[in-house]
Structure 1
């Protein structure tokens, strides 16, 4: 009769779960709901922390869960345990995934540390470009062992600007989607949820006076405001997404180039990157989505290792029109793939506020 498999102490598993809780997630919803089991950890989803309107295909949810899984693996590896994933059942809010841990004779290495994981931050302020650091980070990421099919491409600034303007009204496309987004805003530091989750005024880099907007944009008023915003959405879309807007892009690019020639380093944007993979659906295929989420966190950690932070632009892949624009950009370059992430990468120009976290 074989000896029972050694298991990590409950306190150790709880510490790993606490570390994994600092993983990134869409709207900082932190949708994971881990439960320690007799032989490991079971990962489930809190349905109240999903985005059914903005993320109906569960793509962002699966990516967020993948980030959490990778963070758990990093925490366990630093203590000399490797993470063993079991079969996945369910999709989206119904997903269930079991993990076991295997003791290694030497400390298991994922290539990253808990310190790097805790240092990772999203910066929605002004990011400064650093081409040399970016090139070094991309080369290091490409050499990482065990990555999935993720690849990285840089978007031209005129295309990024156009797609960003085109996607700006996507959140207003329906009252339900607008209400969902407004419901995750945390504008008043006196709000009990300000230190728990959501998009705080600090992390969004909003002016200090935005707390005055809290009664208007708070969760209770969100449905009323959302209906009003949805009414103006068609007009806003026509203003932002006309053919004239596209025609002015080269002129705007030339003007900014002239400014940079006179004042080097002023006004130059950070790198605009799109992450893409094979065309299988990372929404209906949770295994693919989780694998891509794990690699996405690895990519951001590598960027952080080179002094770079990111600002996510998930609306560019969530909006159907701009998603097609990203596909067309990849196709024109002979790269048939499905965009699963868009973000800016650069050096922070000022201290970055910490995103709130749920207590563990």
Structure 2
């Protein structure tokens, strides 16, 4: 499987370098073309954990870039700008206000949308503003409805002559690359067809991503799970179908549960794998029990209400942060592929924190 490992590392090189940059000042810098070296990049959610890590990594990898930290809190924005240094500034932005968005996007070359959660968002306001102002767009969306709503803007983005990429985070994002590589290797190297693809994700506590992952997790408990079985679309109850998955050294075996995630549909439609599902689990184990209880005891309508979920997040966040200090913030992704000739392959990708950290990847294969 050496060719597969090389191919994946090439595809994921920027992600790995970005992670190392955020915690290592000596990381090699990315050499940009002259025409893009001094580009202005707006990071929405730049005062949060994920957006802040993104801004920090960009400033270290590409110090000539002009980083614009977008958010609603000027005090937090000033603190982030002080950390980033002279090639940065703060812009007060309300992503729910068209005029505010278009004003912020009017003089930047790229907008990175990291202002989650994306669940239960009825509009793609940032993407629409990016198209209107002809600004390149990238988001870290992890919601099925939002992701495919964003993809419906493809024609408008093409007409505006701008690149627009959705679900470009860790999972989905890097996990999609892992799946695509497994499928490519199966078809080109082994001359076999994929039959089953399974995404498994593990995060200890909040993974260092703060309240955003709490809100995301709670909102996903209100969504019916879409999976595929032998080409047929099926709907399942969230946080059921538990599997015990081995995430390798340092993490070990963990319980994971079904959730509604966008990579399931895209893997089925784009990679043409007939059976696809995605699962997620956390630690300590009692968080999983709590999420099971929420799914069974709270009405789905409650869990789809962003304002009510935000109240839950405010209650649980201090406890989760306290437990993070004990449980750690490790994150791991495992993708398993089964093929027609009984060939099984897997990709494993782990790092210290969800928002930023050193990332390690490996591929294994076996014939069962």
Regarding TM over 0.5, the answer is no
- TM class, shorter-chain normalised? under 0.3
The structure with more strand, counted as a fraction of residues:
2
TM-score, length-scaled by structure 1? 0.26
Question: Larger C-alpha radius of gyration, 1 or 2?
Answer: 1
Higher relative contact order, structure no. (Cα contacts within 8 Å, ≥ 6 residues apart): 1
The structure with more helix, counted as a fraction of residues:
1
TM-score, length-scaled by structure 2? 0.26
